[in-house]
Structure 1
Amino acid sequence: MASHFADRGWMVLFPQRRGRGKSGVAYGEGLASDGSGYSCKVEIALAGFERAVEDVDAVVRHLRGRMDVDHGKLVIGGVSRGGILAIAYAGVRPNIFCGAINFNGGWLGRGCPSHEFVNPLLFERGATTEFPSLWLHGNSDQYYRIEHCRANFDRFRLAGGRGTFVAAPMGHALMFKPALWGEQVDQYLRDLRD
């Protein structure tokens, strides 16, 4: 995936939020108190999202200190929780990014009935951006039904957001298949550079 962007002249950074990758810190993005996984309770899920925002804030501080980064051409993107975080963060922290790409984004999966409330609420936070975003979703994603994803996009647009929604014949691992999204991403990035 990184090669796709780097081959087109974009520097790529894959930060890991606390508790992900090999960060060595406890993961705390809205887990149930019994350790069974993500909590379906709205207040716990939203607190986990706010923790993730703090982590992206730390990444942005790091980027601002780098001289090899074009601070006028930053694009944020993510997969799954990272996808919804990319869209929402661009709205809650304006004037940092010029684009946002969402790969199969959502905060709570369909196993939580509250996903019908939490996901659109968080996506709406990104509707204030001055640039369009790109939403890439697999139409057979095991966590987020394509109808739910389209409804999230519609709510985002009703709240004033601009963007393009693309459904691809894939599941949650869509990011690993540039053949299914490369054309749309390339056009999106070209438009950002113009």
Structure 2
Amino acid sequence: MELLIFPPACRLSLSLPLGLLFSLPMLVHASPLPLDAGLREEVIMLASGDGGHESLETTVFRPPGAGPFPLLLMNHGKQPGPARRQPRERFIYMATEFVRRGYAVMLPMRAGYAGSSGSYRDHGCDMAANAAGQARDVRDALAYARRQSWVDASRIVLAGQSYGGLAALSLATQRLPGVRGVLNFAGGLRIDDGACDWQAALTQAFAALGAASQVPSLWLYGENDAYFAPPLVRRLYQAYTAAGGQAELLAYGAFKRDAHLTLGSRDGVAVWLAPTERFLRRIGMPAAPVVALAEPAPLAATQFASRADIGAVPYLAESGRAAYRAFLNKLRPRAFAVSSSGAWGWAEEGESPDVRALDSCQQGSSAPCQLYVVDDNVVWPAGGQ
């Protein structure tokens, strides 16, 4: 990742999705995104660990009504850097599609991550132990879910992205009534310190998981995944299924700059949703939309200036215009914000880039920030402001 130095009045929002940002001490602090009232989003602290002495920061999304709802129990990955600095994960695009299909969605942050208590468990090159250690917290979250009146304990799907996918597959080796299948989005764990042959260790762990697996699974891996290349994915899949695991592999093509980020991208829905619906039907889970969710009205394009007219962007000094020039090559969804103080901020990909762009701008500005571009549209008032 390139690290840019910028004037104090300016703030730059890095380009990775919120759920996959690298944790770097030099980054400006990002404010938490607002809870989504339309998805009945809430954050709870869930008792975990021996004697319930630990607590897991857990995000819950629910459809309207009292339930009981089928449940998606989703698991997050591991960002580079200390687990404690990893922000609360939401996977908002996935959560939206499942709530639309009548599901409740739970996403616990495991021990040592974000606002959860306890310590991150690291077993080095012992991939099976790593997977089991992460699965322990997920099992506690599952036990909590079963006790809730709004959860249909007979209709549960486990899912996970990256390290969370490995944790979900590990949990699925246990006999868990009501759990019907696993969604594995680019699951695995990579170790880059040279301490072991991590690919061989991971393959061995997948074979053990396949031998003990209890439910079918759907695996989705993209061609340009920066963590798990297609030859390794084939090894993992062959090891898992040869040992007896039930799995279907969807090896899709390249996705933007890195297929490992597909699930955190708005445009990734077009990749994973249809095969996920087919899998859900196959395991007897709901797959059709049943809940109408209001979509926020997009900001209307104005006639203030052409998007490519760098000189028309108000308030910016030369460094800001250079940033805007670079922004024009960023991925969609994206947003660029400016302030009369000369501050600016941008965000691309991931959740709510408009909110993130405004936040990064506002952190360096005493005056209010305002969106200038959202996706491809200049949204600045036509008469200027």
Instruction: Assess same fold via TM > 0.5.
Output: yes
Paired position in structure 1 for 2:269? 178
Structure 1 residues 133 and 127: CA distance shift in structure 2, 3 A: farther
Paired position in structure 2 for 1:78? 160
The Cα shift of 1:94 comes to 4.2
- Percent identical across equivalent pairs? 28
Whether 1:106 and 2:188 are equivalent positions in the alignment is yes
Which sections of structure 2, spanning at least 5 residues, go unmatched?
Answer: 1-93, 286-385
Give me the CA root mean square deviation: 2.1
Paired position in structure 2 for 1:2? 95
Please state whether the residue corresponding to 1:21 is helix, strand or coil.
coil
Of structures 1 and 2, the larger Rg is shown by 2
TM-score in terms of structure 2 length: 0.44
- State how far apart, in whole Å, the 2-side matches of 1:13 and 1:64 are: 12
Structure 1 residues 85 and 161: CA distance shift in structure 2, 3 A: same
Paired position in structure 2 for 1:28? 121
The ranges of structure 1 where at least 4 consecutive aligned residues each deviate by more than 6 angstroms after the TM superposition are none
Contact 2:108 2:141 in 1 (8 A): yes
Please state whether the residue corresponding to 1:135 is helix, strand or coil.
strand
Contact 2:172 2:214 in 1 (8 A): no
Q: Which residue, 150, 174, 199 being the options, matches 1:116? A: 199
Please state whether the residue corresponding to 1:70 is helix, strand or coil.
strand
- State how far apart, in whole Å, the 2-side matches of 1:162 and 1:50 are: 19
Report how many aligned residue pairs link the two structures: 183
TM-score in terms of structure 1 length: 0.84
Between Structure 1 and Structure 2, the one with more strand by share is 2
- State how far apart, in whole Å, the 2-side matches of 1:188 and 1:128 are: 21
Deviations 1:132-191 (A, max 9, x none): 210001211111112111211111110111121012223211212111111100111122
Contact 1:90 1:96 in 2 (8 A): no
Which sections of structure 1, spanning at least 5 residues, go unmatched?
Answer: 31-38
Deviations 1:106-147 (A, max 9, x none): 123466543223322332324444432100012111111121
Letter aligned with residue 271 of structure 2: L
- State how far apart, in whole Å, the 2-side matches of 1:119 and 1:180 are: 26
- State how far apart, in whole Å, the 1-side matches of 2:211 and 2:148 are: 28
Structure 1 residues 89 and 181: CA distance shift in structure 2, 3 A: same
Q: Which residue, 187, 190, 194 being the options, matches 2:278? A: 187
Paired position in structure 2 for 1:18? 111
